[in-house]
Structure 1
Amino acid sequence: MKRMAVISAGFVPVPAVDGGAGEELTTEIIKGNEKKGDYFMDIYTIESPKLCNIKYKNAEVIQLHISKLNWFFCKARNAFLKLFNRRYRFIPYNRVLLKKFRDNYDLILIENNMQVYEDIYKHMKRSKNNMIYHMHNDIDGTTKPEYLCRYITDTAKVILPVSKYIKNRVENCSPNNITEVFYNCIDTRKFNRNKEFDCNKIKEKYDIEANDFVYMYAGSVYKGKGVLELVKAFKKVSKECNNVKLLIVGSTWYNLIDKDEYYVRLIKEIEDIKDNVIFTGYVYPNDMPEFYSIADVMVISSICEEAFPLVALESMAMGKAIVSTNSGGIVESLISGTAIMVDKSRDVIEGLYCGMKELYDNDELRKQIAENAYNEFINNKNYNVDLYYDTFKEKIGKYIEC
């Protein structure tokens, strides 16, 4: 049996015991291999007590402990390097990973961390030939800079971006012929409009009345997600529509509810409509379908360029009407007729308001958009979790003998 290293991004654990979109997808690859038995996988991940009882027959979970001393060392070294405009960054996770890494693999899958890729590639002596980079986010100026993108295209065997948008970004940065789109998927055993959910439980917990019309946002709460713009749009809606609620499901960073500056701005913005806006904080992935079940309209308000957000697929699978910005790879899943699309290069607040108001006023349109979205989802095999691992094998098999 061939050996594969699976190196997580290093932010939350894999398998995905604490959520994380990318981590959920990595877990699906691990589960697929567990059934097929193609490889023995060493899974490198940040530690968690929740991982201790997870056992696989075709994989070993290698937990990496990040000490406070390690964090302090990296912070000090990075501050020093910044003085000299050095772009390399010392990362606590990477330092521990390099000490634990076994370097005896036939394939190496690195999940969405360019700095980890560079460090591992430079560290290895024997396993450099079959490097796979799974890319979930856009190129940016900090954690995913262009110079690291070029480094990966020069050394990887195959790059798996999650959308055509990301593929184009990579190829514009560094022309190559090793980039294969590998779309995200979701588990329809969890996200399924035909499944029965206890809607009353969620509504009672958050004081949502039976006749309330619920707009829902699901995701991280930070500037790039356009949550402030969504709140401002909802304020306009609430002045004209009766019995409306905005349910914001998510936190600033996975399950950490940090009241940072952006969060404080949101709280200040909703001061005069605070009874109509609900912040749930972090919700574990297994609980998300119940929240979707009470939503009348899902809103994806991103003002950053999204790679290919799972919230769009989850909303489609749950048969929900959607208002969304035309951000990055979103438009690859939300094709014509499956959502009201808002041009984020224009007045996003006004665009969100108009879309939200229209779906409140027009029941038939709301139902038709929801039906179109659901049908698009179920008819597209790219989004089928049962085929995800086989698709992974197919994609990498074009470049690697696997």
Structure 2
Amino acid sequence: MKIALIATEKLPVPAIRGGAIQIYLDSVASVIASNHDVTVISITDPDLNNTENKNGVKYVRFPEGEYIQKIKEHLQTEHYDVVHLCNRPNWIQSLVKVVPNTKFVLSVHNEMFAYEKLSDAEGQACIDSVSRIVTVSDFIGKTITSRFPQAKAKTSTVYSGVDLNQYHPAWTSVGKKLRDQARKELGLENKKIALFVGRLSKVKGPHILLQALPKMVEKDPNIMMVIVGSKWFGDDNLNNYVKHLYTLGAMMKDHVTFIKFVKPKDIPALYAMSDLLVCSSQWQEPLARVHYEAMAAGLPMITSNRGGNPEVIDEGVNGYIIQDFDNPDAYVDPITALLASESRRIKLGKAGRSKVENGFSWEHVASNLTRVYQEALGK
């Protein structure tokens, strides 16, 4: 098959500026390219060539201001069997018009079929025009099929994944080395570390964790909350919300460590040094990719009952789900109890690692997507 994978106009691929969709596309492309002709299309970036070939994948990049028009011209020239478009249902109609014989697969990573984003007519036209729709969680799938029941026959969940070779649990020799080195560099050798990784925005809920921290410290004065992220991918400038977080953190300065934007390649060491991951999402999260990363790193997870997050948590097996997600007190006991028991953390962490090995590697994702592409072509 000759396949085009099209990113949104927000960030380039590879994910040198971050971005879950960009990580997803770059990771599956190299696996699928071992058996098929794969091109990844994204926006230009000063640090990337406009075209290149890498790991068997062709990368084509167009300026953001001309992005859709350039994609149309490219599709007319290259004649792909399948075009996989990410997260832009309102682009489908215009692309189908220029290559009506090409099969389109739409992957949906957020609530893109919400009323404020698509009219009934636009949503229906998109569904009629695509061969298949894949979603990153059952939750996202339901946001489509509850509004457009006729989409059920075309819609399926293909969960995202992780590179298992990049993440090393602390019980491995590589993981222990990473753990010790990262802790030493940050001066956290003897701390019990709860890790948050994500954009510093209100919907991600890091303020909830900071509000919960005083009661955690009362239970265990050795606790350190490590908050990794910035207000936007690659942007370490401060806005009012981030300033608010820093103000909260300053009140517990011996128990909070802020780490600004970290390139994806440097993230695994931060997981290795930590004792658990907490995802405090306040919005209906599609399914945060930190869950896959934490499982791969052998960390137990504490996550909010929002959107698709609970779909990868087996309660009490690889993590815990916070039902009262906007209440800081609800996070205190689950976090402190796990931090108090190394054996419990290792047991849950090993269950998570096994779960991701058995179903959430990039090889699994690529295999599932390839099957969808073949279905789109009627094979």
TM-score by length of 2: 0.88
Alignment partner, residue 168 of structure 2:
192
Counterpart-to-counterpart distance in 2, 1:142 and 1:266? 32
Deviation at 1:377, TM superposition (A): 2.7
Alignment partner, residue 13 of structure 2:
14
Counterpart-to-counterpart distance in 2, 1:142 and 1:46? 27
Any residues of structure 2 matched to 1:150-165 within 5 Å, and which?
150-165=124-139
> Per the alignment, do residues 323 and 39 of structure 1 end up closer, same or farther by CA in structure 2, a change over 3 Å counting?
same
Query: Which residue of 298, 311, 319 maps to 1:339?
Result: 319
Q: How big is each residue's C-alpha offset from its partner over 1:233-290, in whole Å with a ceiling of 9 and x where there is no partner? A: 1232123321221111111211111211211121122221123211111111111110
Query: 3-state SS of the aligned residue for 1:335?
Result: coil
Matching residue's letter, 1:320: L
> Per the alignment, do residues 277 and 54 of structure 1 end up closer, same or farther by CA in structure 2, a change over 3 Å counting?
farther
Deviation at 1:93, TM superposition (A): 4.0
Query: 3-state SS of the aligned residue for 1:198?
Result: helix
Matching residue's letter, 2:10: F
Deviation at 1:100, TM superposition (A): 5.5
> Per the alignment, do residues 243 and 45 of structure 1 end up closer, same or farther by CA in structure 2, a change over 3 Å counting?
same
Alignment partner, residue 44 of structure 1:
41
> Per the alignment, do residues 140 and 206 of structure 1 end up closer, same or farther by CA in structure 2, a change over 3 Å counting?
farther
Is 1:171 paired with 2:145?
yes
Q: How many residues align?
A: 369
Counterpart-to-counterpart distance in 2, 1:377 and 1:63? 32
* Kept in 1: contact 2:82–2:104 (CA 8 A): yes
Of 368-377 and 384-393, deviating more is 368-377
TM-score by length of 1: 0.83
Is 1:396 paired with 2:369?
no
Alignment partner, residue 387 of structure 1:
364
* Kept in 2: contact 1:212–1:243 (CA 8 A): yes
Is 1:181 paired with 2:157?
yes
Deviation at 1:343, TM superposition (A): 0.6
The root-mean-square deviation of aligned C-alpha atoms, in Å, is 2.5
* Kept in 2: contact 1:114–1:143 (CA 8 A): no
> Per the alignment, do residues 225 and 57 of structure 1 end up closer, same or farther by CA in structure 2, a change over 3 Å counting?
closer
Query: 3-state SS of the aligned residue for 1:102?
Result: helix
> Per the alignment, do residues 389 and 140 of structure 1 end up closer, same or farther by CA in structure 2, a change over 3 Å counting?
closer
Matching residue's letter, 1:395: V
Is 1:126 paired with 2:99?
yes
Query: 3-state SS of the aligned residue for 2:41?
Result: strand
Alignment partner, residue 76 of structure 1:
none
Matching residue's letter, 1:136: H
Matching residue's letter, 1:62: V
Alignment partner, residue 108 of structure 2:
135
* Kept in 2: contact 1:215–1:246 (CA 8 A): yes
* Kept in 1: contact 2:140–2:286 (CA 8 A): yes
Structure 1 residue runs of 5 or longer lacking an equivalent are 71-91
Query: 3-state SS of the aligned residue for 2:199?
Result: coil
Alignment partner, residue 31 of structure 1:
30
Counterpart-to-counterpart distance in 2, 1:207 and 1:168? 45
Is 1:207 paired with 2:187?
yes
Any residues of structure 2 matched to 1:181-330 within 5 Å, and which?
181-193=157-169, 194=172, 195-196=174-175, 197-208=177-188, 210-330=189-309
Counterpart-to-counterpart distance in 2, 1:146 and 1:336? 38
Q: How big is each residue's C-alpha offset from its partner over 1:44-73, in whole Å with a ceiling of 9 and x where there is no partner? A: 21112433284248553222124xxx5xxx
* Kept in 2: contact 1:327–1:344 (CA 8 A): no
Deviation at 1:397, TM superposition (A): 1.9
Alignment partner, residue 354 of structure 1:
333
Counterpart-to-counterpart distance in 1, 2:292 and 2:230? 20
Query: 3-state SS of the aligned residue for 1:55?
Result: strand
Counterpart-to-counterpart distance in 2, 1:265 and 1:387? 40
Of 154-163 and 111-120, deviating more is 111-120
Q: How big is each residue's C-alpha offset from its partner over 1:197-251, in whole Å with a ceiling of 9 and x where there is no partner? A: 333432233332x211111001111111111111111232123321221111111
Counterpart-to-counterpart distance in 1, 2:2 and 2:305? 41
Query: Which residue of 350, 356, 363 maps to 1:377?
Result: 356
> Per the alignment, do residues 256 and 57 of structure 1 end up closer, same or farther by CA in structure 2, a change over 3 Å counting?
closer
* Kept in 1: contact 2:280–2:303 (CA 8 A): yes
Identity of aligned residues (%): 20
Matching residue's letter, 1:108: V
> Per the alignment, do residues 21 and 173 of structure 1 end up closer, same or farther by CA in structure 2, a change over 3 Å counting?
same
Q: How big is each residue's C-alpha offset from its partner over 1:336-367, in whole Å with a ceiling of 9 and x where there is no partner? A: 2221210146x531111221122233444333
* Kept in 1: contact 2:29–2:38 (CA 8 A): no
Query: Which residue of 92, 99, 107 maps to 1:117?
Result: 92
Structure 2 residue runs of 5 or longer lacking an equivalent are none
Counterpart-to-counterpart distance in 2, 1:63 and 1:399? 26
Query: 3-state SS of the aligned residue for 1:173?
Result: coil
* Kept in 1: contact 2:209–2:328 (CA 8 A): yes
> Per the alignment, do residues 39 and 356 of structure 1 end up closer, same or farther by CA in structure 2, a change over 3 Å counting?
same
Deviation at 1:141, TM superposition (A): 5.2
